[in-house]
Amino acid sequence: MKSEPLSYLPSGDQGPWGIYLEQVERVTPYLGKLKYWVDTLKRPKRILIVDVPIHLDDGTVVHFEGYRVQHNTSRGPAKGGVRYHQDVTLSEVMALAAWMSIKNAAVGLPYGGGKGGIRLDPRQLSPSELERVTRRFTSEIGILIGPKKDIPAPDVGTGQREMAWMMDTYSMNVGSTTPGVVTGKPIAIGGSLGRQDATGNGVFFTAAAAAEKIGLPIEGSRVVIQGFGNVGNAAARAFYDHGAKIVAIADVTGAIYNEEGLDPYDLIRYVAESETRGVRGYPKAEPLPAAELFAVPCEFLVPAALERVITEQNAHKVQTKIVVEGANGPTTPAADDILAERGVVVVPDVLANAGGVTVSYFEWVQDFNSYFWTEEEINQNLERVLREAFEAVWQVAQDRKVLLRTAAYIVAATRILEARALRGLYP
């Protein structure tokens, strides 16, 4: 008897979850005897959908829809961020949780995959309203989370502030200060040095590792970045500091271009002071139609925004040697095939943006031990972990003659399903 398909998603276009399932199908032929357990990867372990009602500042009551998904916990507690975005869906959160399972296993972290989200536009809420949303959401998902069960972290639309509120709410509910319940916290309450830039630094470390394999120097190379939040601006600074030239950057406000290169430090100051809080209007660059961003000639293209931005409709326009996926799921399977045919190396998200969860792991370990590392130690260990993971995936890709993404899934799925097989089924 075959397992029944999931009933709570449409049978047609399943959105981001459908992309994840296609990626699992591509790796299945390489799993050998572990194919027996492959349905484990296709079914989230636990899904919680919650109502999040709050009082707005004007006294009215509004309700938001929230999610927490635990995809797999065979290798350890669930780990994954919390996203605040107006387009959050169950399919998206399921896929993000599943990609976290793959990411943690590919890098070798002792975690499973989890993810959370609330369907709201954080720009439309005041700080006090966001605090009420965060605290109510934390209380609603409190039955799932915990430092040894499921550890949230920041994602799109959230940051240190929200993690502080989450940690405090959970601590008040359980009656003791529990720093390890979330990561990405402020330093003063158990956060880790190096966490803020960890994902962007990881993008650079994996990009440099890939560049070494094909003999491409970083110094003098051209870089195009989509997204200028924590990931995009940290990656831009890392490339810039190593002599690369940032020729184009885009965010939600628009895209800009300068053939001679952009100074990300100066751009960060502009964004902080501008009315739009974005890159649009930056006086030291030309405006660029957002649809043309991926067509800008470069050596490194870094999509660091949302999923499904490189598709079969625009993949043929991409003019780069290496795509480094700072975002989760930015490239569809069909686009993967087009890029491969054109000789473009794609460093998959489960490696490229694993810097954040890697330093989150370091933070979690430090919280348990109440002993904190220097930023130099953090960055050295981060680079070591990511380079070792990249080397292992690269070797599998060469041995099996597959794409880096498929190789990463072979490594990760093997680790997850070996753990499932060894643990067996209870009862």
Q: How far apart are CA 71 and CA 215, in angstroms?
A: 38
**Burial (CB count <10 Å: 0-12, 13-18, 19+), residue 96:** buried
Burial code of 147-162, b = ≥16 C-beta within 10 A, e = fewer?
Answer: beebbbbbbbbbbbeb
Q: Which residue has the tokens 């290798």?
A: 75
HSE of 420, CA atoms in CB hemisphere, 13 A: 22
How many of the other CB atoms lie within 10 Å of CB of 72?
A: 28
Residue 57 is which amino acid? D
Distance between CA atoms of 411 and 276, rounded to whole angstroms? 43
Active-site option among 2, 33, 35, 115: 115
Q: d(Cα 164, Cα 167) in Å, to the nearest integer? A: 5
Active site residue 79: no
Residue 256, H or E segment:
strand 254-262
Question: In the chain, what is the greatest distance between 2 CA atoms, to the nearest angstrom?
Answer: 65
Catalytic residues: 115
